[in-house]
C-alpha cells in the first residue's frame, strides 16, 4: 500500500519558492516585473536599500497572509491590509542587484491557496518620493491585472494621521495591521485607534532591537533615551528589568509570544523581532500554531547570509547549497 503520509518539506524547500516569488523569479511575479519595467516604474539606484534579512520579514508576512485569509474567508467578507510604514512598493536588497516586492505590493497581488485576496489596501508613507512611486506602482498593477482591490494610500506621518487610517476601516472588516518602521518612529499606544475600529484586526509588529538599547541607556540615566521610550510606549519608562519590558511590549501588542521571530542580518546579529498579535476567538487561536512552526523552523533558523546564498542560487549565481546550509 502506498504511504499517504506526506513527508514534511525541508526548510530550504519551503523558503526557496517564497524567495522566488518575492524576488520576481516565479512566473506570476516575473509578469509584475515586466509590467513595472515597461512603464518605467522599476527600481532605480537612488532607492534606499535594505539587507537580505528583509526577505525573512516579507516571507513571514506572506506566510501569514495565506494562513489568515484562508480562515478569514469563512467568517468575513472584507479583508483589509493596513500598512502603516508602506515604503515604495519595491525593496532593493543592499549590495546586490536583487529586488523584492515590498509589503503593500505583495498584499495587492497576493492570492491565498484558495484564491482569496485582500479587498482593500490602506497604506501610509511619509516620504514624498516613495509615496509617489508607491501610488503609481500599485495603481498600475491593479489596472494591468484587472484587480478589484480598493487602494487607499495616504501621504504623511503615521503619528499625525492615524485617524485617517482608522476611518478607512469598517466594523465587520478582517484586518492585518503591519507596523514596519526602521526604528521606533511610532507611538504604539496610538495604534489602539486603528484596533478599536474592528475586533478582528491582527497585528504584525516589527520591533526594533533599538528598543532594548534605549531601555539600557534610559536605565543608566540617559534622559533623551527615556523620552524616546516614553514616546514609543509610555508604560515602558518605569520598567527596570529588560525581560519585564519585553513582556509589557509583547502583552500589549504581541500575543501570542510563541510566534515571535527574531530576524538576524548577514553577520548573524539580531536586527528586530516580528511580533504577532492575533484577535481572540472562542477557540483560542489555533491557526497561530502554523505561524509558530514557521517562525521556529524557518524565520529564526535563517539569517541574512543564508538568504543571500539562496538568492544567488535562485538567480543563477551559485550551486545547490541546502546541504551545507541546513539549519541545525
Ligand atoms: C522599513 S520601511 C517600510 C518597508 C515596507 N513596509 C516594505 O516592506 O516595503 C519604513 C518606511 O516608513 C517610512 N516612514 C518613516 N517614518 C514614518 C512616519 N512617521 N509615518 C509614515 N511613514 C514613515 C519611511 O520613509 C520608510 O519608507
As beta bridge partners, residue 101 has 90
Centre of ligand 1 from the C-alpha of residue 87, in Å:
5
Centre of ligand 1 from the C-alpha of residue 324, in Å:
35
Task: Reply yes or no on domain 11-314 having CATH 3.50.50.60.
Answer: no
> Cell numbers of 251, please?
502583552
Tell me the pTM: 0.92
Determine the residue of 85, 108, 191 to mutate for testing ligand 1's pocket, defined as the one with the most ligand atoms within 8 A of the Cβ atom. 85
Predicted pLDDT at 211: 84
* Nearest CA among 92, 89, 88 for reference residue 49: 92
Q: Which residue's C-alpha comes closest to atom 9 of ligand 1?
A: 102
Average pLDDT of 301-316? 96
Centre of ligand 1 from the C-alpha of residue 138, in Å:
16
pLDDT band at residue 22, thresholds of 50, 70 and 90? very high
Centre of ligand 1 from the C-alpha of residue 115, in Å:
29
Centre of ligand 1 from the C-alpha of residue 181, in Å:
5
Lowest-pLDDT range, 173-177, 207-211, 247-251, 294-298? 247-251
Residue 157 alpha carbon, nearest atom of ligand 1: 20
Determine the residue of 49, 52, 84, 86 to mutate for testing ligand 1's pocket, defined as the one with the most ligand atoms within 8 A of the Cβ atom. 86
Predicted pLDDT at 208: 87
Q: Which residue's C-alpha comes closest to atom 19 of ligand 1?
A: 157
Q: How far apart are CA 106 and CA 11, in angstroms?
A: 22
pLDDT band at residue 250, thresholds of 50, 70 and 90? low
Taking only the tens place, the pLDDT of each residue in 80-124 is 999 999 999 999 999 999 999 999 999 999 999 999 999 999 999
Q: Which residue's C-alpha comes closest to atom 3 of ligand 1?
A: 87
Centre of ligand 1 from the C-alpha of residue 64, in Å:
20
Determine the residue of 54, 122, 181 to mutate for testing ligand 1's pocket, defined as the one with the most ligand atoms within 8 A of the Cβ atom. 181
Residue 89 alpha carbon, nearest atom of ligand 1: 9
Residue 58 alpha carbon, nearest atom of ligand 1: 8
> Cell numbers of 67, please?
494562513
Q: Report yes or no: 201 and 177 within 8 Å, Cβ to Cβ.
A: yes
> Cell numbers of 242, please?
529588560
Q: How far apart are CA 234 and CA 254, in angstroms?
A: 16
Q: Which residue's C-alpha comes closest to atom 4 of ligand 1?
A: 87
As beta bridge partners, residue 151 has 121
Protein residues with CB under 6 Å of any ligand 1 atom: 83, 85-87, 91, 102-103, 124-127, 130, 157-159, 180-182, 185
Q: Give residues with Cβ within 8 angstroms of 207, minimum separation 6.
A: 249, 254, 272, 273, 274, 275
Centre of ligand 1 from the C-alpha of residue 204, in Å:
14
Phi first, then psi: what are they for 276, rounded to 5°? -110, 125
Phi first, then psi: what are they for 83, rounded to 5°? -110, 95
Centre of ligand 1 from the C-alpha of residue 140, in Å:
21
Taking only the tens place, the pLDDT of each residue in 312-325 is 999 988 654 444 44
Taking only the tens place, the pLDDT of each residue in 191-226 is 889 999 998 999 999 988 888 888 888 878 888 988
pLDDT band at residue 44, thresholds of 50, 70 and 90? confident
Amino acid at each position: 500500500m502506498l504511504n499517504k503520509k506526506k513527508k514534511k518539506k525541508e526548510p530550504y524547500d519551503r523558503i526557496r519558492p517564497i524567495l522566488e516569488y518575492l524576488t520576481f523569479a516565479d512566473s506570476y511575479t516575473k509578469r509584475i516585473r515586466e509590467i513595472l519595467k515597461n512603464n518605467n516604474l522599476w527600481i532605480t539606484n537612488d532607492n534606499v536599500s535594505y539587507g537580505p534579512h528583509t526577505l525573512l520579514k516579507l516571507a513571514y508576512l506572506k506566510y501569514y497572509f495565506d494562513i489568515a485569509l484562508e480562515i478569514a474567508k469563512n467568517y468575513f467578507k472584507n479583508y483589509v491590509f493596513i500598512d502603516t510604514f508602506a515604503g515604495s512598493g519595491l525593496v532593493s536588497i543592499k549590495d546586490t542587484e536583487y529586488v523584492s516586492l515590498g509589503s503593500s505590493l505583495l498584499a495587492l497581488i497576493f492570492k491565498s491557496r484558495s484564491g482569496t485576496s485582500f479587498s482593500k489596501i490602506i497604506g501610509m508613507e511619509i516620504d514624498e518620493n516613495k509615496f509617489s512611486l508607491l501610488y503609481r506602482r500599485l495603481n498600475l498593477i491593479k489596472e494591468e491585472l484587472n484587480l478589484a482591490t480598493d487602494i487607499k494610500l495616504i501621504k504623511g506621518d503615521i503619528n499625525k494621521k492615524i485617524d485617517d487610517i482608522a476611518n478607512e476601516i469598517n466594523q465587520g472588516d478582517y484586518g492585518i495591521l503591519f507596523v514596519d518602521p526602521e526604528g521606533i518612529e511610532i507611538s504604539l499606544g496610538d495604534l489602539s485607534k486603528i484596533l478599536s475600529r474592528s475586533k478582528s484586526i491582527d497585528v504584525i509588529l516589527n520591533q526594533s532591537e533599538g528598543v532594548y538599547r534605549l531601555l539600557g541607556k534610559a536605565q543608566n540615566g540617559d534622559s533623551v533615551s527615556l523620552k524616546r521610550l516614553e514616546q514609543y510606549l509610555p508604560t515602558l519608562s518605569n520598567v527596570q528589568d529588560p525581560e519585564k519590558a519585553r513582556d509589557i511590549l509583547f502583552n500589549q501588542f504581541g500575543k501570542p509570544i510563541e510566534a515571535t521571530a527574531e530576524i538576524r542580518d548577514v553577520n548573524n546579529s539580531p536586527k528586530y523581532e516580528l511580533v504577532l498579535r492575533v484577535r481572540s476567538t472562542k477557540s483560542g487561536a489555533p491557526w497561530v500554531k502554523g505561524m509558530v512552526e514557521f517562525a521556529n523552523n524557518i524565520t529564526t533558523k535563517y539569517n541574512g547570509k543564508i538568504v543571500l546564498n539562496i538568492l544567488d542560487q535562485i538567480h543563477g549565481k551559485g550551486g545547490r547549497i541546502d546541504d551545507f546550509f541546513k539549519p541545525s
